[in-house]
Structure formats: structure tokens, C-alpha cells
């Protein structure tokens, strides 16, 4: 079977190009062969997960990367060769995901960028050609929801009723209460082991921000000491297996928050609530940073406006008392003048 016939002029043009490539030290036949043998994006996903992510990332990050690869990257780009992926291809995928889940689209874009940077490090793609470069991420606004005093009380009542009528287990109720009382992240509580618990602290060997030394209030310590343990199981919050921990608090939380009339409150908002109470009670930002396990002080300072509100209320209270005293004195003097 023969290929398309070239005209004499086309043959001369092609020959000149090949001669020019050879003169520059390039090997046209080798380049074509290398291109044909280049791995696909699907192969890159697998190697990235096994050789990079599993060695350098936390287990939760590896799970997120694997999920995004399986759900988005491989279906859209998997069959393509690494060198054939263009910025337009990545931008189209980002736009498609953005139509329904803009935040997820940003996570996928970040994964693709990381994978292709790693591909360049491995010599699988020319340096500086990452196809995810200069693609603008969707704007993200962090949602902060704080439980007011009345809402905190309402949640507490529902948690107690859930224990009494046995609609939730003691481990689920205790996990949610511990989130409120310690400001911990959900994974830090669900994967907590008894070996990490001391009388005054939770000594986590690893977390999102590395090793953590978390103060353990007496109320939280009492909750922990009241939990039933299972011999051979090292975890505090027991799961559905004999040696495992609870992996999902979202489903029971949805039941609890509905019962409490707090359906817009996420589990992570319990952590926000802890920080808001700390700030409004005058906890120093540097101290709160250590308690919360924030990597940067700027993260903690996002709650600073709450301190401003507390200061404003305090100043208003002082002014109100002083105004009352001044008004009383003015009234008394006015009465004296009238009598005289």
C-alpha cells in the first residue's frame, strides 16, 4: 500500500526541512520514533500516583488525586500522548467541569499542572511547556458559617436527644462534640488513636500541617474517657469493622443538623465556630494559630474581624454605662435647680 504522491516541489521542500533539522543536530527519524513511544496521559496518571503522590503526599491527597484522575482526567485526556496535550485541551476540560462544579474544576487543573510538571522533571515532555500554565482558575470564596450561642445550645440538645433515643451512636455524637471542643479537623478526630491521647493533649504524629500538639480541655478529656473501647482496635472513634475507625461523619451529620434546624451548617463550620469563639474571647492570634494547626498566620487572621466586632460591642457597652451615669448626674442637677 503506497502513501500519497508528493509533487516535485513538495518533495524538495520536505527535503530542505529535513536537511535543516539535521544541520541543527536534530534526528527527525528519532524524534518521530520518540513521539510514537511517548506514554499516554493515562499512563502518566498511573505513574504519577505510584511514583510521586504515594511517596510525597498525604493519603487523603493521594485519594483525591486518584479520584480526579479516574473521574475527569483519564476520560478526557487519557488516550492522548503526553506531548500532544495542548493548553486548549486542558482549558476545554476545565471549562466543562466548571459548568457544574467550579471548585472541582480548579482541583483538577491543579492536578494536571502538577502531573505535567513532574513529567517535565522525568524528561517526558519539554521543560516549560506545561499545558496547564496561564489557565485562569475559577474564583473561590470560602464559606464561613459560625454557630451563634443559641444555635450551639440547640445543637447540644439534639446531640443529647440522639443519644437518648439511640438514633446515633455514642461514637458519632462524641466525635461531633470533640470537633466543637477542640477545633480539630474531621480527619484528625476520626483517625485519632488512643496512643495519641494524654491527660492534657492530643499528640498527633501527622496531620494536614504535620505533627500537632493539641490542647485537650477537661470537657473533651471527659468525653474521651467515657467512650467504650474495643480490644485490638487502636482507634477512638470506632467504625464498622473490628479494627477500623469511622470513615464517614457526613451522613450522620446531615441527620443531626436537620433535626437541629441547622441545614446550612457544614461539619467544617464547627471548626470555624471554635475559632470565632476563641477570637471573640480575646485569644491571641499567634496562640490560636498553634491551637488550630494553621500553617500560616494569615489563615488565622481571617478571623480578626470577629475580634473587631467584639471590641466594638465592648466599647458600646462601656459607653452605654457611662452615658447612663452622665444622664443620671444631669437629671439630678436639673432637679436641684428646679427646687431652688
Nearest-angstrom CA–CA distance, 87 and 105: 15
CA-wise closest residue to 227 among 252, 253, 208, 246: 246
Report the percentage of the chain scoring pLDDT > 90: 54
Q: Looking at domain 22-121, which of 1.10.10.10, 3.90.79.10, 1.10.132.50, 1.10.150.130 is its CATH number? A: 1.10.150.130
Stated length of the chain: 340
What lies within 8 Å, CB to CB, of 136 at 6+ separation is none
Nearest-angstrom CA–CA distance, 255 and 261: 10
Q: What are phi and psi of 202, to 5 degrees?
A: -105, 120
What angle in degrees, to the nearest 10, is found between the helix axes of 285-292 and 268-280? 160
pLDDT (tens digit per residue) in 238-284: 988 888 999 889 999 999 999 999 999 999 999 888 888 888 888 88
Cβ atoms within 10 A of the Cβ of 111, count?
23
What lies within 8 Å, CB to CB, of 291 at 6+ separation is 183, 214, 215, 278, 283
- Which pTM does this prediction carry? 0.62
Superfamily holding 149-267 = Intergrase catalytic core (1.10.443.10)
| Positions of CATH 1.10.443.10 in the chain | 149-267
* Tens of pLDDT, residue by residue, the chain (340 residues): 444 455 666 555 665 565 565 555 555 444 454 444 569 999 999 999 999 999 998 888 899 999 999 999 999 999 999 999 999 999 999 999 999 999 999 999 999 999 999 999 999 999 999 999 999 999 987 777 889 889 999 999 999 999 999 999 999 999 999 999 998 989 899 999 999 999 999 988 877 767 888 889 899 999 999 999 999 999 999 988 888 999 889 999 999 999 999 999 999 999 888 888 888 888 888 888 888 888 888 777 777 666 666 656 666 777 777 787 787 666 656 555 655 5
pLDDT (tens digit per residue) in 79-127: 999 999 999 999 999 999 999 999 999 999 999 999 999 999 999 999 9
| Positions of CATH 1.10.150.130 in the chain | 22-121
Give the C-alpha distances (Å, rounded to integers) separating 62 from 45, 48, 98, 190, 209: 12, 10, 22, 18, 16
Amino acid at each position: 500500500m503506497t502513501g500519497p504522491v508528493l509533487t516535485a516541489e513538495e518533495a524538495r521542500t520536505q527535503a530542505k526541512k529535513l536537511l535543516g533539522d539535521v544541520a541543527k543536530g536534530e534526528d527527525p527519524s528519532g524524534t518521530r520514533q520518540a513521539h510514537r513511544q511517548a506514554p499516554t496521559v493515562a499512563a502518566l496518571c498511573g505513574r504519577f500516583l505510584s511514583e510521586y503522590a504515594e511517596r510525597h503526599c498525604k493519603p487523603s491527597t493521594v485519594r483525591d488525586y486518584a479520584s480526579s484522575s479516574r473521574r475527569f482526567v483519564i476520560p478526557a485526556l487519557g488516550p492522548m500522548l503526553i506531548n500532544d496535550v495542548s493548553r486548549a485541551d486542558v482549558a476545554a476540560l476545565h471549562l466543562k467541569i466548571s459548568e457544574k462544579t467550579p471548585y472541582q474544576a480548579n482541583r483538577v487543573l491543579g492536578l494536571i499542572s502538577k502531573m505535567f510538571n513532574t513529567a517535565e522533571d522525568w524528561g517526558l515532555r519539554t521543560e516549560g511547556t506545561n499545558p496547564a500554565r496561564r489557565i485562569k482558575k475559577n474564583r473561590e470564596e470560602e464559606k464561613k458559617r459560625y454557630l451563634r450561642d443559641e444555635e450551639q445550645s440547640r445543637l447540644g440538645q439534639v446531640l443529647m436527644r440522639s443519644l437518648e433515643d439511640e438514633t446515633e451512636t455514642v461514637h458519632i455524637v462524641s466525635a461531633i462534640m470533640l470537633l466543637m471542643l477542640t477545633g480539630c479537623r474531621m480527619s484528625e478526630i476520626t483517625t485519632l488513636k488512643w496512643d495519641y491521647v494524654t491527660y492534657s493533649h492530643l499528640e498527633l504524629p501527622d496531620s494536614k500541617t504535620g505533627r500537632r500538639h493539641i490542647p485537650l480541655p477537661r470537657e473533651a478529656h471527659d468525653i474521651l474517657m467515657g467512650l467504650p473501647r474495643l480490644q485490638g482496635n487502636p482507634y477512638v472513634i470506632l467504625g464498622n469493622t473490628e479494627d477500623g475507625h469511622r470513615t464517614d461523619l457526613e451522613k450522620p451529620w446531615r441527620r443531626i443538623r436537620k433535626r437541629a434546624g441547622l441545614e446550612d451548617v457544614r461539619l467544617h463550620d464547627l471548626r470555624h465556630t471554635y475559632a470565632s469563639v476563641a477570637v471573640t474571647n480575646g485569644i491571641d492570634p499567634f496562640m490560636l494559630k498553634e491551637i488550630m494547626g494553621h500553617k500560616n498566620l494569615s489563615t488565622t487572621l481571617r478571623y480578626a474581624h470577629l475580634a473587631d466586632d467584639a471590641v466594638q460591642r465592648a466599647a458600646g457597652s462601656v459607653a452605654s454605662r457611662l452615658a447612663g451615669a452622665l444622664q443620671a448626674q444631669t437629671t439630678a442637677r436639673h432637679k436641684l435647680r428646679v427646687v431652688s
